[in-house]
Amino acid sequence: MSLVTSLSIIELFLLTFVSLTLYTAHFYFRYFTRKSKVPGPVPLPIFGTLLYSYKVGTFNFIRDCYEKYGPIFEIYVGDNLITHREIYLSKPELLEKIFSNSTKSNFTLRNPSHDGMDELGFGKNGMVMNSDVASWKKNRMLSVPLLMNPGFLKNQVYVTQEMFKEMEICWKSLYDDKILLEFTSLMQRFSLDLVIASTLGKPSYAVKSLYNSLDGTNKQDENSSAYKSSQDLIRQVHSFFKSILFFEQPAWLRHTLLLYYNNYYLNEMKSLNNSIENDIKIRREEIIMDIKNGINVQEKWRDIMSLFLLKYSITENQGKTSQIQDFDVTDDVIRSNLTEVFIGGADTTANSLSFTIYYLCKYPHVKKRLFDDIDVILSSNTSRDVTFEDIEKFEYGEAVIKEVNRMTPVAPVIDRSNVAEDEIGGYSFEAGTRFNAFMAQIYKNPEYFKDPEEFNPDRFMKGSENVSHKYNSYLPFGSGLRVCPGRHGAMIVMKTFLMCFLKTYDVEFFDKNQKLNVSFDVGFHCDEYKIAITRR
């Protein structure tokens, strides 16, 4: 019996050894006979080039590859035991095709179809992660006009200002003359409040819940049902952010060793979907009632959900679903587009504002110039509300935001994929190849930006000679057919926040030796730092 058992173990070992040997031989045969031999580190079976990045970190590994292999190189990423290659492009000239605006472009995808996104419900829905070109085009037709709607853009100034006022109330309840804050955490909460108010037209109390955790005596709104349900929404949205990265893991891993987390995120996603769909039904009833009562609904309802309903769902028949080119604009379609706004809005805005305030603390002469510009725009009446016209005049504020994004871009890498074979940089690539525009490297290249390590917002002022005029050298919101549809709204929000903040307050580091600590996953994230805020 023991002999049979030992033979079985030996046979199992031999089978495993032979399988791994054959897999390795096949892997390297495919690698060395690949059609386009782009330079890059030699990958390992299963792991690709992942292990090379453990010592230095993913971003440093990518940057080292650029230094060693040049403006076009490849790395390999493991996925379902089959590694796929990703092509990095680090010169504007190489980006022309992947960021083409032509509807005939082969680069209409951000990424090839992925079972993780399909399981999460986004593989064929919405815009950001949709890998079904026909579905993406139809969703784009729905969303872009709303996100570019002048009424919505003007309303972003109002919503941002109201969110800032609510945050001020929380400050005053805890602090007297000097306000000490962990700023990144605050911006994450503020951005979540902002994106939910802009998208769903309701409060989320994210900032208030943060201050309630700090104040043991003054629990604002904590006993209201709206406050309690908002806490569930906040948790679900945070889980949603985490699930995007989690579902990039191979299916076999998610469905075995990580099954608990897989099911947890799916349940949270289901709860978030149900919550938003319920909000859609309630809002539809509210709008229909307002129409019956003769209320100007176009003026009253300016959040994205209401704009969707007013344009595509609420017709003369009150609630009948409309169609656009044989595409049913159902509640499910509206919900998937609303959910994706969370992806493009909350996290990127929080990090951009956190980076911006850091640089203003580090460079007080830039902060002083912002003070002066704001005083001129507001005619020294800093107690009045900010208007859309004020934001349009705030050119130096926009230049500061752009320079901050050049120094520490929230999107250091922008991805695309081709739907048909195409050629880039003299290499031919089969359909489904992943391309990454290495924007962080382009932004620090002196060929495109003079003195690239110097923080100089003036390079983005009109008429400046310090900014690159090279096409595709500065793409904070991407470019081409997949350009960020919310880019104008995002800039308005950030400029409004800066003006609301700096017209009243001065800001400096709590620790004068504060360093900028940045983490990287799919983008740059600003790690926590503490600031001191005083009235000007």
Segment 117-153, tens digit of pLDDT: 888 888 888 888 888 888 888 888 889 999 998 989 9
Cβ–Cβ < 8 Å for 486, 105: no
Per the prediction, the chain carries an average pLDDT of: 87
The stretches of 466-514 forming alpha helices (DSSP H) are 487-502
| Residue closest to 492 by CA, chosen among 503, 500, 502 | 500
Mean pLDDT lowest among 109-123, 183-197, 300-314, 347-361 = 109-123
Tokens 């992947």 correspond to: 98
- Give the tokens for residue 514: 């504060």
Query: Judging by beta carbons within 10 Å of its beta carbon (0-12, 13-18, 19+), is residue 39 exposed, middle or buried?
Result: exposed
pLDDT tens profile 329-382:
889 999 999 988 876 677 889 999 999 999 999 999 999 999 999 999 999 898
Cβ–Cβ < 8 Å for 249, 271: no
Please tell me whether residue 143 adopts helix, strand or coil conformation.
helix
For position 362, what pLDDT does the model report?
A: 97
* Angstrom distance (rounded) from CA 64 to CA 58: 10
What residues have CB less than 8 Å from 109, skipping those under 6 apart? 131, 133, 416, 417, 418, 419, 482
Query: Kind of pairing, strands 530-535 and 179-182?
Result: antiparallel
Alpha carbons within 13 A on the beta-carbon side of 346: 26
Please state at what angle helix 150-174 crosses helix 206-214, rounded to 10 degrees: 10
* pLDDT > 90: percent of the chain: 54
The CATH classification of domain 139-411+476-535, taken from the options 1.10.1060.10, 3.40.50.720, 1.10.630.10, 3.40.50.12280: 1.10.630.10
Q: How confident is the model at residue 220 (pLDDT cuts 50, 70, 90)?
A: low
What residues have CB less than 8 Å from 283, skipping those under 6 apart? 201, 301, 305, 306, 309
Distances from the Cα of 444 to the Cαs of 99, 353, 409, 440, in angstroms?
20, 21, 11, 7
pLDDT tens profile 450-464:
999 999 999 999 877
What pairs with residue 180 in β-bridges? 532
- Give the tokens for residue 108: 């209409």
* pLDDT > 70: percent of the chain: 91
What residues have CB less than 8 Å from 88, skipping those under 6 apart? 62, 65, 66, 72, 73, 74, 75, 413, 435, 436, 438
**Domain 35-113+414-475: top CATH class:** alpha beta
What residues have CB less than 8 Å from 270, skipping those under 6 apart? none
H or E, element range at 339: helix 331-362
What pairs with residue 492 in β-bridges? none
Q: Which amino acid is at 242?
A: K
Is the predicted pLDDT of residue 317 greater than 50, yes or no?
no
Is 484 annotated as contributing to ligand binding? yes
Give residue 534's region: left, alpha or beta (phi > 0; psi -120 to 50): beta
List phi, psi (to 5°) of 152.
-65, -45
Mean pLDDT lowest among 263-267, 345-349, 357-361, 477-481 = 345-349
Q: Which whole number is the average pLDDT over 166-172?
A: 86
What angle (nearest 5°) sits at the alpha carbon of residue 258, between those of residues 257 and 263? 135
What residues have CB less than 8 Å from 47, skipping those under 6 apart? 78, 83
For position 468, what pLDDT does the model report?
A: 60
Q: How many CB atoms lie within 10 A of CB 25?
A: 11
Q: Which amino acid is at 119?
A: E
Is the predicted pLDDT of residue 318 greater than 70, yes or no?
no
* Angstrom distance (rounded) from CA 363 to CA 166: 28
Q: How confident is the model at residue 111 (pLDDT cuts 50, 70, 90)?
A: confident
Please tell me whether residue 11 adopts helix, strand or coil conformation.
helix
Please tell me whether residue 524 adopts helix, strand or coil conformation.
strand
| Residue closest to 98 by CA, chosen among 466, 505, 525, 414 | 414
Q: Is the pTM of this model over 0.85?
A: yes
DSSP 450: S
- Give the tokens for residue 296: 């100007």
Mean pLDDT lowest among 121-125, 319-323, 428-432 = 319-323
For position 466, what pLDDT does the model report?
A: 61
What residues have CB less than 8 Å from 532, skipping those under 6 apart? 178, 179, 180, 507, 508, 509, 510
Tokens 């932004």 correspond to: 443
Cβ–Cβ < 8 Å for 416, 437: yes
Kindly report the three-state secondary structure assignment for every residue of 172-207: HHHCCCCEEEEHHHHHHHHHHHHHHHHHHCCCCCHH
Q: DSSP secondary structure string, 275-315?
A: HHHHHHHHHHHHHHHHHHTT--HHHH--SHHHHHIIIII--
Domain boundaries, the chain: 35-113+414-475, 139-411+476-535
For position 424, what pLDDT does the model report?
A: 97
H or E, element range at 228: helix 225-246
